[in-house]
């Protein structure tokens, strides 16, 4: 029997409006970091309520630059989750620092604040808090820890554009930011895509200036300011920087994408509610938990499989039925790129988990092994969702 058309795990919303925006930038003659980037930064900052926004080339470079800007240096430690895309931990190592991995809460898949608090040590320079798959973490508790312990708080908000979190009894957009800086990704899996790209928001004018220098080779004056000047201006390079620039073509597309966010959020939240209804009766299937302090953007809809079900077998059965899935979020500490000497265990720095599971990251490992992401995207139909729910039910019985 022929398999139906594959339902993808995600599909970006791109149409003629993005084509026209890219063409506008191309035909303007200014295609690198210029007026479109500046406009995108202003519009993004306004959308999340941040005083400053700095566009960069990816979510990974956003994390790297943010950690450098808050002072992370070789020999420092940064507390974060192993249960995150590997870019989170990689950015720490790019700075010459050491990731200190803490376990997650088994219901939200976000870092456990109690373990974070205990993990702070004399070498801790920053906490890198992840808003996992668009679900805000317990940011008020992370803020309290960072302030009490005198360390920086960087938010990995790669997936969280459009999400809200309750702070001081008021709803606030992720990215305002609540810590020192917040970092976003514009990869095609995210609600807003520029093909690739990233954004860093901050309340601090000094941090913003540092970020802008870091993204452009440490240059003392931007291209935009130099070309707009009626005086000959020579730039200098007082600090080591990087090529983390976003192009104007990307930014022009991003401006169109940003305007789509309110409508996309409404659709995704309706789709998530429908999934909750369709899947509620599936025995042993765990649905996403949303704490009362969070309003996620539903960048990803993740389910926990029934006890004893083989993750790969379920995913293969769904693929055979024409439904794409993805495994639970990875754990960096289980990858060959992270031998035991490259990281510390936040629960017990004496822990030696070389060659096997880490007993202090058990919830993280279980989440990777027992959860899958099912399709959720803007153009998904009710029939698609029904077909996905039926495929999941059948696959869990195999």
State whether 111 and 57 are in the same domain.
Answer: yes
- Same domain membership, residue 358 and residue 233: no
Asked whether residue 3 is assigned to any structural domain, the reply reads no
pTM of structure: 0.95
User: Is 31 within the bounds of a domain?
Assistant: yes
Which residue has better confidence, 198 or 354? 198
Per-residue pLDDT tens digits for 140-197: 999 999 999 999 999 999 999 999 999 999 999 999 989 999 999 999 999 999 999 9
Residue range of the domain that includes 90 = 16-258
The count of domains in the chain is 2
Residue 6, domain member (yes or no): no
Do residues 248 and 365 share a domain?
Answer: no
Q: What is the CATH number of the domain that holds 358?
A: 3.90.1150.10
pLDDT band at 1 (very low <50, low <70, confident <90, very high): very low
In a domain, 10, yes or no: no
89 and 30 share one domain: yes
Closest listed residue to residue 126, CA positions, set 77, 62, 61: 77
Residues 293 and 386 in one domain: yes
Out of 258, 275, 292, pick the residue that ends a domain.
Answer: 258
pLDDT tens-digit map of 103-139: 999 999 999 999 999 999 999 999 999 999 999 999 9
238 and 146 in one domain?
Answer: yes
Q: Considering the domain boundaries, does residue 2 fall inside one?
A: no
Q: Does residue 68 share a domain with residue 194? A: yes
Looking at the structure, tell me whether residues 191 and 317 fall in a common domain. Answer: no
The answer on 280 and 181 residing in a single domain is no
235 and 273 fall within a common domain: no
Residue 247 sits in the same domain as residue 308? no
| 342-380 residue pLDDT tens | 999 999 888 877 767 899 999 999 999 999 999 999 999
Within a domain: 4 = no
Are residues 252 and 270 both part of a single domain?
A: no
Which of 258, 278, 294 is at the close of a domain? 258
Give the CATH number of the domain where residue 33 resides. 3.40.640.10
């Amino acid at each position: 029997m022929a398999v139906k058309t594959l339902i993808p795990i995600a599909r970006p919303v791109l149409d003629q409006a993005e084509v026209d925006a890219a063409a506008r930038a191309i035909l303007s003659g200014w295609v690198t970091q210029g007026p479109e980037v500046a406009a995108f930064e202003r519009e993004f900052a306004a959308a999340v309520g941040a005083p400053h926004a700095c566009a960069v080339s990816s979510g990974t470079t956003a994390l790297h630059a943010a950690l450098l800007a808050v002072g992370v240096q070789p020999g420092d430690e940064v507390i974060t989750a192993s249960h995150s895309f590997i870019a989170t931990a990689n950015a720490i190592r790019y700075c010459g620092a050491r990731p200190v991995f803490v376990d997650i809460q088994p219901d939200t898949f976000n870092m456990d604040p109690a373990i974070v608090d205990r993990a702070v040590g004399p070498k801790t320079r920053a906490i890198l808090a992840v808003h996992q798959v668009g679900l805000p973490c317990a940011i008020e508790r992370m803020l309290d820890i960072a302030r009490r312990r005198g360390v920086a708080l960087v938010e990995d908000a790669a997936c969280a554009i459009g999400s809200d979190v309750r702070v001081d009894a008021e709803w606030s957009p992720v990215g305002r930011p609540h810590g020192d800086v917040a970092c976003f990704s514009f990869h095609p899996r995210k609600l807003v895509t520029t093909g690739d790209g990233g954004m860093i928001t901050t309340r601090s004018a000094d941090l913003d200036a540092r970020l802008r220098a870091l993204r452009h080779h440490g240059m003392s004056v931007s291209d935009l300011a130099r070309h707009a000047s009626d005086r000959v201006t020579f730039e200098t390079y007082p600090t080591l920087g990087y090529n983390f620039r976003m192009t104007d073509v990307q930014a022009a597309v991003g401006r169109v994408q940003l305007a789509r966010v309110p409508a996309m959020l409404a659709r995704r939240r309706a789709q998530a509610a429908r999934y909750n209804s369709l899947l509620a009766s599936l025995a042993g299937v765990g649905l996403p938990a949303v704490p009362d302090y969070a309003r996620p953007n539903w960048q990803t809809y993740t389910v926990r499989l029934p006890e004893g079900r083989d993750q790969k077998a379920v995913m293969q059965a769904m693929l055979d039925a024409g439904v794409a899935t993805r495994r639970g979020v990875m754990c960096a500490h289980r990858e060959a790129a992270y031998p035991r000497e490259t990281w510390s265990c936040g629960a017990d720095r004496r822990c030696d988990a070389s060659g096997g599971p880490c007993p202090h990251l058990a919830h993280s490992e279980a989440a990777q092994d027992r959860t899958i992401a099912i399709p959720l995207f803007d153009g998904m139909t009710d029939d698609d969702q029904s077909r996905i729910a039926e495929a999941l039910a059948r696959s869990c019985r195999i």
